[in-house]
Amino acid sequence: MLWDWAEQPYPTIIQTFIFATYITSAAFVVGASSMTEVQLENARADLAGQLGLAGAVAGLIVAISAPVLGRRSDSAGRRKFWLLLNSAILIGLMLASYFIEPNPTFFLIGLALYAVGNIVQETAFINYYAMLKQVTNENNIARVSGIAWGLGYVGGIILLLGSLVLCYLPGHPIYPAEEQALNIRVIFLFAAAWMFIFTIPLVLFVPEIPKTEISKTKESIIQSYRGMFGTIKNLRAKNPDALRFLLASAVYRDGLAGVFTYGAILGTVAFGFSQTGVILFGVAANIVSGIGAFLGGILDDKLGTKRVIAGSLIGMLIAGVGVFALAGLGSITYWIFGLALCLFVGPAQASSRTFVARFAPTNREGEIFGLYQTTGRAASFLSPLLWWVFISIASALSLANPTIYGIIGIMVVLGAGLAWLLRVNPKPAVIE
């Protein structure tokens, strides 16, 4: 559970609220000082689009590698080793982010760190999720998973509030002169230290899994892909609703990820939030997401899992339309509809795992959840790609505030996932 807390700096600090907005700020625009306000806005939109493209490329790499890594994590007997190695790489990437100075010449390096970090984090999750059954039993697996999820939200709140007080608010004690954006860059050092410290319990107290008989015969990459497609073929023949849900959730879960990944960029570039405003919004987003997840769990028992997921996606589509249609009203639009988006993310995520648990057979939950993660990674390029496409089209047409058009790409992904989900039986049979 503490590893969920430990890795929280990457999605919160690097991927969403601070590093991503830092490298898409005016400091990284070539010739920013001589630009008009409109030109600068368009230039920052281009940086935001490039960030989305980098995320799309990272997603494609994950999609290609995840099936092999996922199938091998159960039997190789090096699950903990690979998780710790990925953790060490993430820590190194956050340390390296400190050296990205506020200068256009550092933008591509920052972009590369961002893309590589996305790949490493998603790879780490494959082994982390595989560990869940290793450290729990049938009576506490849901509770442990839920507490870990909650720790992630709480960790995000603490990180953002700490960054705000120590590095952003007037009179902050860290680099008060703010030369070379040191007050921002030092946060990446804190993030690396946080992950290092809170990964220690995993090192000390979680044992490595033993090698299995299967691992003695090493599976080739081609065999790994053949095995994955064999599992999918079996689902298609015997449990099409389970397969349909796995594919639908892969699509809409990428949309859910897109909301958080590009939420801060929308706030800064499209709605003019200051860095302090973005952090305050991030704190509110984590609180609202936690509340949504809690309420979704209650409604799940009363209304059914599929209804909660579908209702959450519909709510997000309505909120997304509000963000786009009412953008001209300014920041108040994002405070209302942006937080509404976050409210529905939690229940959609939590109920999706519950839905899979309902059709996963006893003693094969790990295999099915592994496929759940693999299909999710396979679609992880959709939101970044469509985010970049819609921003690029808006920029090419010289539309005002082109970054706001990125939300359309995310809504397309959510809508496609919802359409696919509606075809799924709300109570699919348990997989044979």
Going along the chain from its start, the domains and CATH numbers come out as 9-206+227-421 (1.20.1250.20)
Residues sharing a CB contact under 8 Å with residue 321, sequence separation 6 or more, in sequence order: 411
The CA angle 270-275-281, to the nearest 5 degrees, is 75
CA-based radius of gyration for the chain: 21
Q: What is the largest CA-CA distance in the chain?
A: 66
Residues 323 and 337: beta-carbon distance below 8 Å: yes
Q: Tell me if residue 363 falls in helix, strand or coil.
A: coil
Residue 328 is predicted with a pLDDT of 85
Residues sharing a CB contact under 8 Å with residue 228, sequence separation 6 or more, in sequence order: 67, 70, 71, 371, 374
Residues sharing a CB contact under 8 Å with residue 151, sequence separation 6 or more, in sequence order: 1, 2, 4, 5, 8
The CA angle 286-417-388, to the nearest 5 degrees, is 70
The Cα 349–Cα 417 span in angstroms is: 13
Would the pTM count as exceeding 0.85? no
What separation in angstroms does the CA of 385 have from each of 15, 54, 122, 295? 16, 9, 17, 32
Residues sharing a CB contact under 8 Å with residue 211, sequence separation 6 or more, in sequence order: 75, 76, 77
Residue 176 phi/psi, 5° resolution? -60, -25
Torsion sign across C-alpha atoms 366, 372, 375, 379: negative
Give the distance, in angstroms, between the CA of residue 366 and the centroid of all CA atoms in the same chain.
21
What separation in angstroms does the CA of 29 have from each of 23, 32, 55? 9, 5, 20
- pLDDT string in tens for the chain (432-residue length): 899 899 989 988 998 888 998 999 889 998 888 888 888 888 888 898 898 889 888 888 887 777 667 666 555 567 788 899 999 999 999 999 999 999 999 999 999 999 999 999 988 887 887 777 778 776 676 667 767 777 887 888 888 888 888 877 767 777 666 678 888 899 999 999 999 999 999 999 988 877 655 555 566 667 767 777 777 788 888 888 888 999 999 999 999 888 877 887 888 888 888 878 888 888 888 888 878 877 777 787 778 888 989 999 999 999 999 999 898 888 899 999 989 998 898 788 878 877 877 777 765 665 676 677 777 777 778 888 898 899 999 988 888 888 899 999 999 999 999 999 999 888 877 776
CB-CB neighbours of 237 under 10 Å: 9
Residues 156 and 284: beta-carbon distance below 8 Å: no
